[in-house]
Amino acid sequence: MKEIVLNNLDQSVFVENLDNGLKVILIPMKNKGNYYANYTSKYGSINLNFKCNGKTYKSPKGIAHFLEHKMFEQPDGGDVFDYYSKTGTECNAGTSYKKTSYYIYGINNLKENLDYLITLVNSPYFTDENVEKEKGIIVQELKMYADDPDWILSETLKKATYKNHPIKYDIGGYEDTVNSITKDDLYKCYNEFYKPSNMVLVVSGNFDLYEILDVIKNNEALNSRKDKSEIIEVKEKEPLEILKQYQEILNPSVTVPKININFKISIKDCKDKNLYMLYISALLSILFGNVSSFNEDMFKKGYASYVDCNRMLLDDLLIIEFYAEGEKPKELLNEIIKRFKDEKITEEELNRFKKVSISSNVINSDKSQNIAECILSDYLNFNTIYEDRIGIIKSMNFEEFKKIRNELNVDNNATVFMKKEE
């Protein structure tokens, strides 16, 4: 087991790679009564097509999410939620674009609860009957989201942004694709993507390091998983071009018009994506955050009353997304582009960002769930656990910042404008 001392955070992380390929990350914390365990597969809604027995298999959209629901099925009919309720432990799961996570959060009985979780995730049990039953529940879940104007807005923008990339599909799939799923589909995808070598287990909070490592190593269901074969995904190239630059849609529930914009940027030649994303975060904070006057300016001009932005890595693409409430999408877009290109940025502003970023790291390191998720996120995105995140932040320099800013190409963008349907 390897110890990584997190610099300036009064915290260590312990890492062990098991023989079957599972990566185990343990974060014992002082002063905590609770614990958090997260068992994640690097399998999300975007992992659709892969080589199976020499042929390309195209899985039904929404299957990763369906699989997540079915993992809770047990051959003896026992109820997972029942089991965890007995000790007042919270258990839940979630599927996102790039991963599926199963987690528990509680105060008592970690050893038994963790053992149960590991067994659960390594013991698939799908039958025609239990697959059929789940369809009704999932379709209701899809309908719940389908009433949300923000969800509709986001789906429309994704379709305008991506030609081939599976991120454009809804994570849960669609009513017809969900209804088409069979138990064979589920086993196929499970066997491929739930191999221990494609998974990671993180435990943080109040626990004894060696006791918990033993529980993990001695779990029978996990030990029975021997397949370490390579996963060969079949991906279509995603062109840089946007599909639809501007569109307007109507919605009966919305009261304030909404604007959603994506910038699609190539970062093929980027060597250190982690550091690059830090600089991008700094740029967005300085140009569009509360310390800029962007919100107030857009309000005064009557373009938008609320503007928020985010950034995401997608293979060799950087996606910057803006969400705003307002009536002038084209004017807003022009203002955003103007800021990206012309707005003055100072070293003082970068230094302030660094201060804030360091604070976030310290604050996150104080909560079991937060620190586990940060470490997990670094590992999933960059295949690294950084021992000196604070040092990396401190190393950001103004020259490099200006260079990245100048080279950023924001001409490739898509806008969706949602108005109230009368």
Interface residues with other proteins (CB under 8 A)? 31-34, 79, 81-82, 85-89, 106-108, 133, 136-138, 140-141, 143-144, 146-150, 252-256, 289-293, 295-296, 299-300, 305-306, 325, 352, 355-356, 358-360, 362-363, 365-368
Is 68 an active-site residue?
A: yes
Q: How far is the CB of 306 from other proteins (least distance, A)?
A: 7
Nearer to other proteins, 116 or 162 (CB): 116
Which residues have a Cβ under 8 Å from the Cβ of 66 and sit 6 or more positions away? 134, 138, 173, 178, 181, 186
Q: How far is the CB of 235 from other proteins (least distance, A)?
A: 32
Report which of 76, 100, 114, 74 is spatially closest to residue 192, judged by C-alpha positions.
100
Burial of 169 (0-12, 13-18, 19+ CB in 10 A): buried
Nearer to other proteins, 127 or 409 (CB): 127
Q: How far is the CB of 331 from other proteins (least distance, A)?
A: 17
Angle separating helix axes 273-288 and 368-382, nearest 10 degrees? 120
Catalytic residue, from 3, 16, 68, 325: name it.
68
Nearer to other proteins, 1 or 250 (CB): 250
Residue pair 320/313 in contact by the 8 Å Cβ criterion? no
**What CA–CA distance (Å, rounded) separates 258 from 324?**
6
Report which of 205, 304, 214 is spatially closest to residue 259, judged by C-alpha positions.
304
Residue pair 347/405 in contact by the 8 Å Cβ criterion? no
Nearer to other proteins, 18 or 107 (CB): 107
Nearer to other proteins, 173 or 196 (CB): 173
HSE-CB of 300 using CA atoms within 13 angstroms: 6
* Residue 199, helix vs strand vs coil: strand
Q: How far is the CB of 31 from other proteins (least distance, A)?
A: 5
Q: How far is the CB of 299 from other proteins (least distance, A)?
A: 5
Q: Cite the active site residues.
A: 68
